[in-house]
Amino acid sequence: MSVVDFLMRALNRVPPRVLQAAEKTLKAVPGMDARMEREYAHMLRELEPALKPYAHAFAAYAQLPPTGMDRALILDEMEQLNARERAKWQDGFVSGAVYHGDAAHIDFLNRVYALNSQSNPLHADVFPSTTKYEAEIVAMTAHLLGAQASDEIVGTVSSGGTESILLAMKTYRDAAREQKGITAPEIIAPVTAHAAFDKAAQYFNLKRVHIPIRDDMRADVDAARRAITRNTIAIVGSAPQFPHGVVDPIQELSELAREHDIGFHTDACLGGFVLPFAEKLGYPVPPFDFRLPGVTSMSADTHKYGYAAKGTSVVLYRGRALRHYQYYTATDWSGGLYFSPTFAGSRPGALSAAAWAAMVSIGEAGYLEATRQILETATKIKKSIREISALRILGEPLWVISFTSDTLNIYQVLEQMTKRGWSLNGLHKPSAIHIALTLRHTSPGIAERFANDLRDAVTYVQAHPQDKGAMAPVYGLAANLPLRGVVSDLLKRYMDVLYQVD
């Protein structure tokens, strides 16, 4: 039995406080660090072939080539790499990741990118076209998300969902410091809110207060009420949350925030460009946007279901005054007057141009149709999961669907799906799998292929419970190992492998 296995099994049921103490003690055991190092190295070696499929097959550069390579050769090599990777996402085997993926749409966005590749919104005087695109992206998104004529819903374009969330949390921190003198800020977020909120807490010195979810996987409003203190600067809810695709009780949570005069952020990174259309199509969509008076900020990702190229998102605020806390200005710098609305300085204006082009080329009717197709596919997929008695769907999701098993190791099912070509997400707490459906899954036959493969995968796991495979133990480890420091170390080493030149 490996050290990690041993730890996992022995310590699985011990309370967290005891474990934290144990973790410290373990580190103090002579030789333990070296044993853990060997264990990490062993696990990563097993993962390496999957992470580095091109090792030895293509030239690798750890320093600049002495003379420039021929452009045609570079393009040829990239085409080979691209060809190896394309089928998996194009043929609908991947959860999320590529949300549109239609060849004509991609070609169009690539043309837009090429036209604007030199643009940088930092130089608004040189590239006023990009500022026009960005202002309109923000306005169109605000309109979609319930901004009324009487509201002043404003925002900025960011590089992605994580940046939008980081920006909103920094904004609340700075607003609360100035307006209320809060120096030990706290944010209240359900355990299912995206990891970006934890990242914000780590980066900006906020205390993230986790609140639990209920059996329906939605945030517990009573727990949120109990968690509010004098230092609370914002409450967070998701529409929908990433793990199980369910929409938190945004109405109740945002009212709670309003009663206490604190901010409320709806994370609609996933749902911002789906839920408004789902509502129009008559699906049950609980209120989640600026139509609720307590919602003071939102994030919505153009680069997901907005069908833009990767690298843009929108963060919105109720009122310019709040947005001002996001902005950065430097008035004393020897480089002159400097200001930037988001974290980056220079930014890829071409991506904003592409996001704008995606939005106006698809239009209301296009988004409505895309949503209709995705939700109809989701209905088929949910039905096929419900037909497998060993599986259970968590909560009542619309199109990001998670499922678990009360009788099987769900990570073995995940592994069997991987063997059948699928790239799904492993979740934990509770252990589950999810698939975020995109337009890629709406092509004929894909929902049926998913259903057949899932049935086969479950049948295989039922017949071979001992066949753990390579990844299932890693997921199992991440899900169950209570020593979070050990898991965190492992993930850091994983990232080291990604940056290793073969």
Ligand X SMILES: Cc1ncc(COP(=O)(O)O)c(C=O)c1O
**Contacts with ligand X, residue ranges (CB under 6 A):** 160-162, 165, 194, 196, 238, 241-242, 267, 269-270, 301, 313
User: Residue 258 is encoded by which pair of tokens?
Assistant: 């309003």
Both tokens assigned to 430: 């509770």
Q: CB-wise, 99 or 356, nearer to ligand X?
A: 99
Token readout for 309 is 């190229």
Q: How far is CA 102 from CA 89, 108, 148, 311, 427, in A?
A: 11, 10, 34, 18, 28
* CA–CA separation, 195 and 187 (whole Å): 13
Taking the least distance from each CB to ligand X, the nearer of 397 and 473 is: 397
Instruction: Name which of 165 and 200 has its Cβ closer to ligand X.
Output: 165
**Tokens for 379?**
């209905």
Is residue 240 reached through a cis peptide bond, with omega within 30 degrees of 0 on the bond before it?
A: yes
Sheet bearing 297-300, strands edge to edge:
153-158, 313-318, 297-300, 263-268, 232-238, 186-190, 207-211
Cβ atoms 232, 188 nearer than 8 A: yes
Residue whose CB is nearest to ligand X in the complex, by number: 161
Q: How far apart are the first and last CA of the chain?
A: 31
Q: How far is the CB of 243 from ligand X (least distance, A)?
A: 9
Query: Smallest distance, Å, CB 97 to ligand X?
Result: 9
Q: Give the closest residue to 299 by CA, choosing from 262, 342, 258.
A: 342
Q: How far is the CB of 69 from ligand X (least distance, A)?
A: 32
Residue whose CB is less far from ligand X, 161 or 397: 161
Q: How far is the CB of 190 from ligand X (least distance, A)?
A: 11
Smallest distance, Å, CB 144 to ligand X? 17
Q: How far is the CB of 401 from ligand X (least distance, A)?
A: 14
Q: To the nearest whole angstrom, how small is the minimum distance from the Cβ of residue 162 to ligand X?
A: 3
Q: How far apart are CA 101 and CA 161, in angstroms?
A: 19
By beta-carbon proximity to ligand X, the closer residue of 241 and 326 is 241
For residues 127 and 242, which CB has a smaller minimum distance to ligand X in the complex? 242
Contact in structure between 239 and 245 (CB atoms under 8 Å): no
In the complex, minimum distance from the CB of residue 164 to ligand X, in angstroms, rounded to a whole number? 8
Torsions phi, psi for 314 (to 5 deg) = -125, 135
Would you say 299 or 418 has its CB closer to ligand X? Answer: 299
Size of the chain, expressed as the number of residues it contains: 502
Q: Give 194 or 318: the residue with its C-beta nearer to ligand X.
A: 194
